[in-house]
Structure 1
C-alpha cells in the first residue's frame, strides 16, 4: 500500500530510476492511446467517427487508476486479461454489421444505416462497449503511474510524466510515417509493459500470454486482406469486377474505384462513369492549368489528361493512397509529366497556391475519419466551408471555374454545398445530377462555368434554408446546429459509466469531495488543446504531421511551465488568468484566415504565439495549483478526470461552433481560480491550497 503523507514542502524530486519508470509508464499510456485510436477505427469502421471517445476513455481509466494507485500491485494483474477482452470484442465487431439508427441529422459515411443492412450489433453497444473496455485497460496503467509519482515532489514527477508522453507522441508518429501495422505497435507496447512488470515472473508470464493473444487477434484480423496502414486509414485493395478496375477500401468501406476509362466499350457502367466525369468540363473554356484537390488514386487526373489538360497540380492528403494510385491505376495518370503530385491538405495548398488556374476540381474526398482524434471535426470538413470556396475562387483566373464532385448521402448535404458555393462566388453554381450514385451523385460548377445555368426553383431542396458551414462551424454532414440524438444518447451512457468508474476507483468520497479547481482546469485544458489543433489545422493543414506536431508542442509547453514553476519562475495567478483571457478574446477577433497572406515563417511565428501563449498561461495556472498538492496523485487524478468532462463538452461545438470552446475554457479557468482563491484568502492560491484528499482504500 502506498502511503502519501509527506508534507508537500519536504518532498524530494524523484531519483533517476524513478524518473525513468514514470516516463516509461507515461510513454506506454500515450503510445497505447494513439495505437488504439487507429486500431479500433480501422476494424470497426463506424468507430472512426467516434475516435475521440478513445481519448476520453483513456483519461477516465487513467484518472480512475490514479485514484486507486495504492492498489497498483493488484491492478497490474488485470491488464493482460482486459487487453484480451478489448481485442476479442473488437474482432467480434469487425465481423458484424452495426445498427446505426440515426435521426437524419447527420450522415455517416460507409456505415450500415438501413433495414436491409442485416444489422447485428446496436451502435450504442458498439461505442459504449469499446469505451468501457478501453477505459478499463488504462486503469492499471494509471495506477502504476500514480504509484511511481506519489512519494515525490509533485512538479518534477509531473515533468517526467510529460516527458514520457512527449516521447510517446514522437514514437508513434515515426511508426505511422513508416506505415507499420498494428502488430508492430502492440509488440512495441508489450516490450515496454513487460519491462515495467519485470522481474515478477508470474506476472511477466501472464502479461506475455495476454499480449500474445491480443497480437494474435490483430494478426488474424489483418490476414484477410493485404493491408497497408496509412497515417489516416487501414487501406485494402481488391479487383472490382469491371474490366481493369480496382476498388480501394478504407477501414473496410468503399472509398475509391480505379477505373480504366479506355475500356468503356466493354462495360456500360465504365462508359456511364466516364460521361459523368467529363460532363462538367463542357462548361469550361480551357484546361491549360488545372488544380485537383482530393486527387486520390487518379480518376480525375485520367479524365483531365484525356480532355487535353496541359498542366495539373494534383493534391492528395494521404501519401499511401497517392502511392497506390501511382502504382496501380490502370491508366497511370501519375506517370504523365503534366501531372505534379503534392502530398498535403487541400486547404493548406489553397492558402498559398503557386499559380492561378483555369479549373480547380474538388474530387470526392469523402473523409471517413476525424481530424486528429481529439474532436468531432472530420478530416474533410474544412474543405467544404465558405472560406475554402473563397480561397478557391481567389486561386482562379478571372474566367476560371470550380468543378466539384460529391456523393451526398442526404439532401441537406448537397443543399449546403450549393449554398456555400453561391455565397462564395456571388451567384448560384450549375448543378448536374448523376444517373447513379456509385462514386458521386452531384457535380457543381461554379464561376465562369455557371454562366447561363438554369435557375434552381425556390421550392427545390437545394434552396431549403440551412445553416451554412464556415471555419467556425465546419459540419457539412450535420443538418443543423444541434447535437444529433445518437451522440446525446451515447454521451449520456458514457457519463453514467464515468461516474461508475470514479465511484469504483475512489468510493463515494471521490464523488462527494473532488478537487474542483484541478477538475475544472483539466476540463478547460482539454478544450484549449482541441481548439489549438483545429486552429493550426486551418493555418498549416489538416495533416497527420501537423496534428502530431501540435500535440507534441502542447506537451513541450506544459513541460516548460512545470519545470519553471518548480524553480520558482512563474507569473502571478491573476496575471496568468488575465493573459489567458486577453489571448482567447483576441483569438476570436483575429481569425486564422487573417494570417494566410503573410510569409510562411511569419505565419509559424505568429501562430506559435496565437496558440502557444494561451497554452503556456493555462499550464502555469495548473502548475501553480498542482505544486501545492499534498497528495499529488489524487490531484492529478481529478485533473485528468476533468479532461473527461472537457472531452464531452467539446461536442457542444456542434451546436455553438468552435469559437465557443475558447469561451467555455476561459469560464472554467476563471471558476477554478476563484475557487482556489476562496480556498485560502490569506495568500496566493498556490501557497495555501488545501490539500486534496486521497480516497479511502477499500
Structure 2
C-alpha cells in the first residue's frame, strides 16, 4: 500500500513540478503521464528474478531529473501555425529536442523502479488482495497530493514526503544508493523554495517581482512565463488602455452590476469600481493570484464592500448563478497549463465555446453587453471569437485592435447597446466556433497537429523498445491482449469523465482531484464486490457495460447542464461511474483468473499508455465520439478473452 501510494504521489508531483519548470510540459501534461505508465508497466512486466538494479538505484534517476530541469530549463517557442501556445519566452538551456526526450525517459525509469518495488510486493499476495491494496494506496496518494495542493505547499514538501517513503521502501537495504541521490534532490528543491518571490498555487509555480517601487507595479510570472502585471489605476484608465474599452463602447449602459471572469490580481475590478459599479462579482480560478492582488494592488479593489470574490471556474459560475448583469467581461483568461488527466483541455477552454457565449448572453440585462479581450496572437483566433459573437448576438461586435494582435471585442444585446466607429470585419475565412464537444479554440482546424503526431509516434516506439530491452518477449504478452485493451479503454473512459465533470462543475483542481478519487473508489467498489462473489456472469456484466456506455452516449451534455445542481451531480455520477464499475468487475474477474497476475497488470498499464495516446483523437472527433472508441476497445477485449479462454481450455499434451 505504501509502495502504491508513493507511485501515484511521485507521478502527480512530477506532472506538477516538471510542468511548472518546463513550459512545454504545461501544454503536454500527459507527456509525464505516458512516461509514468510506460515505467510502471515495464516494472510489472519484468520477472521477479530480474531487474533488481532498478530497485537498488530507484532514487538516482529521480534526483537526476530534478537537477537536469533545475540547471537546464527549457521554455516553449510558438513555432506551430496549427495550435497556439500562450507565451513569448524563447528557449533557454539545452534544446527542447534534447531535454524533452530525456525527461520522458527519466520519468519512465523513475516509475519503473517504483513499479518494480510495487510489483515484487504484488506477487506476495493473491491477485485481488494485491489489487485492493494497490487501489487503497492510489487513493491515499491522490488524497495526499490534493491536500498539499489545497495547502499551497511548496515543492520542497513534496520532495521530503517522496524521499521519506522511498527510504522506508528500499533505503534500509541500500543506504548510500538511496541516501545520496535523495539528499541531492531535496537540496535542489530547497534552493527552488528559498528563491525570493516563489510560491505555489494549485495550478502554477508563481514568481512575483516588483517592477516599480514608486508606482507600486508588479510583474507576476506563472511557470516561468510573464502572466500578469499589477498596475496603478491611473495607468489602467489611460485612453489607450484595453481595460476601459468595454465601458467607452457601451456609453448608455449603467454599468451597475458586473461579472468579471478572470479577475486575477484585480486590475479589471479596480477599473469597474472607477466606472461606478454598484456590485462586482469577481471570479478567479487561482486563489494565489487573487491573494496577491488583495495584498499588493495599490487601488485595494478586493477590499471594497461592493466586490464579491468567487474562487471558481468561470463557466461553472455562469451555469450556477441566476444573477443578470449589465456587463460581463472575460478579462484575459488564458492559462499556461492543461487540466491534469485531460491532455488537450486547458483551464479556460470551456469559456470560449459557442455554448459559453450563449450562457453569458443569457445572464445579461435587456440592454446589457459582453466584452472580452486578450493578446490573441493570431488574426484567425480573433475572427473565430468575433464570428461566434456575431452568430450569438445577431450582429458584429465592436473590435479595437492593439499591438501584437491584442484585441477588445464588445457585443451589446442589440446594436444600439454598443457604440464603436468600426465593427468587426473578418480578415479572412472565419474558423468554425469551438463547442462544448470540441473545446479547442486554439486549434485552427480539426485534426491532430504534426507536432503531436511526431511526439506520440516516438513515445509508442520507445515503449516497444523498452519492453523488448527489459527481456520481455512482446509475443509472450499477446496472451494478455485482452488486459491491454481493457487498460486502453479504461483510460479513455476516465479521460472522458474528467472532461464531463470539468464541463459540468468547472476545471478547478478540486473537481479534477475529486473525479480521480471517485474513479478509484468506483474501481475499489468493483474489486470488493468481486472478492465476495464466487462467480460472476460475464454476459450480464458485458450487457450492463455496453448499456451504460450507450446511456452516456445518448444523453447530451446540454441536457445535464440544464438540470439543477443536485440533479446535475446525480446524473454526472451515474453516467460516469456506472461504466467504470461494470468494466472493473470484468477486469477484476479476469485478473483473478490470470496465470501471471503481475504480468497481466503490466500489460494493462501499457494499454493505458495507448489509451492516453488515443485521447488525441478528440481533436478530430470531439469528446463524445470517444465513447464509440471505448466501446470498440471493450468489444476487442471481450473477443480476445474468448480466444484466450479457448487456449487455456485446451488440455496440455502428455509428457513424453
Question: TM-score of the superposition, structure 1-length normalised?
Answer: 0.88
For 1:524 and 1:577, how far apart are their aligned partners in 2? 14
In the alignment, which residue of structure 2 is the partner of 1:322?
290
Q: Could you tell me whether the CA contact under 8 Å between 2:72 and 2:92 is conserved in 1?
A: no
For 1:492 and 1:528, how far apart are their aligned partners in 2? 22
In the alignment, which residue of structure 2 is the partner of 1:564?
529
Q: Deviations over 1:597-651 (max 9, x none)?
A: 3222222112110111011112122112211111100000000000010111111
In the alignment, which residue of structure 1 is the partner of 2:218?
246
In the alignment, which residue of structure 2 is the partner of 1:158?
131
Match of 2:55 among 76, 79, 103: 76
- Structure 2: give runs of 5+ residues left out of the alignment: 652-656
Match of 1:225 among 180, 196, 200: 196
Change (3 A) 1:322 1:274: farther
How do residues 35-434 of structure 1 correspond to structure 2 at under 5 angstroms? 35-70=13-48, 71=50, 73-94=52-73, 96=74, 98=76, 100=77, 102-110=79-87, 112=89, 117=90, 121-200=94-173, 203-241=174-212, 243-262=215-234, 264=235, 272=238, 275-284=241-250, 285-434=253-402
SS at match of 1:359: strand
SS at match of 2:282: strand
SS at match of 2:473: helix
SS at match of 2:370: strand
In the alignment, which residue of structure 1 is the partner of 2:560?
595
For 1:330 and 1:576, how far apart are their aligned partners in 2? 62
Change (3 A) 1:681 1:511: closer
Deviation at 1:410, TM superposition (A): 1.6
Deviation at 1:230, TM superposition (A): 0.5
Change (3 A) 1:124 1:586: farther
Q: Deviations over 1:100-154 (max 9, x none)?
A: 4633111111254xxxx46554433332221111111011111111111113221
SS at match of 1:423: helix
SS at match of 2:617: helix
Deviation at 1:413, TM superposition (A): 1.5
Deviation at 1:447, TM superposition (A): 2.7
Q: Deviations over 1:350-399 (max 9, x none)?
A: 00214111111111011000012442111111111111111111111121
Change (3 A) 1:214 1:399: same
Superposed CA RMSD in Å reads 2.2
Deviation at 1:46, TM superposition (A): 2.3
SS at match of 2:310: strand
Q: Which moved more, 1:235-244 or 1:340-349?
A: 235-244
For 1:92 and 1:514, how far apart are their aligned partners in 2? 44
For 1:237 and 1:125, how far apart are their aligned partners in 2? 30
In the alignment, which residue of structure 2 is the partner of 1:10?
none
Q: Could you tell me whether the CA contact under 8 Å between 1:348 and 1:538 is conserved in 2?
A: yes
Deviation at 1:512, TM superposition (A): 6.5
Deviation at 1:508, TM superposition (A): 3.1
Change (3 A) 1:512 1:637: closer
Change (3 A) 1:672 1:273: farther
Change (3 A) 1:543 1:689: farther
Q: Could you tell me whether the CA contact under 8 Å between 1:629 and 1:689 is conserved in 2?
A: no
Deviation at 1:690, TM superposition (A): 9.3
Change (3 A) 1:426 1:93: farther
For 2:309 and 2:380, how far apart are their aligned partners in 1? 33
For 1:58 and 1:634, how far apart are their aligned partners in 2? 17
SS at match of 2:241: helix
Change (3 A) 1:129 1:111: farther
Deviation at 1:246, TM superposition (A): 0.6
Is 1:644 aligned with 2:609?
A: yes
Paired residues, number: 645
Change (3 A) 1:396 1:495: same
In the alignment, which residue of structure 2 is the partner of 1:538?
503
SS at match of 1:404: strand
For 2:70 and 2:442, how far apart are their aligned partners in 1? 29
Change (3 A) 1:274 1:401: same
SS at match of 2:472: helix
Deviation at 1:678, TM superposition (A): 2.8
Q: Could you tell me whether the CA contact under 8 Å between 1:69 and 1:142 is conserved in 2?
A: no
SS at match of 1:413: helix
In the alignment, which residue of structure 2 is the partner of 1:476?
441
Change (3 A) 1:193 1:512: closer
Q: Deviations over 1:660-685 (max 9, x none)?
A: 22111110001101111233359xxx
Q: Deviations over 1:481-508 (max 9, x none)?
A: 1111111111121112111211122433
In the alignment, which residue of structure 2 is the partner of 1:583?
548
Deviation at 1:272, TM superposition (A): 4.5
In the alignment, which residue of structure 1 is the partner of 2:654?
none
In the alignment, which residue of structure 2 is the partner of 1:669?
634
Question: TM-score of the superposition, structure 2-length normalised?
Answer: 0.94
Q: Could you tell me whether the CA contact under 8 Å between 2:23 and 2:75 is conserved in 1?
A: no
How do residues 23-42 of structure 1 correspond to structure 2 at under 5 angstroms? 23-42=1-20
Q: Could you tell me whether the CA contact under 8 Å between 1:527 and 1:650 is conserved in 2?
A: yes
Deviation at 1:571, TM superposition (A): 5.4
For 2:542 and 2:109, how far apart are their aligned partners in 1? 35
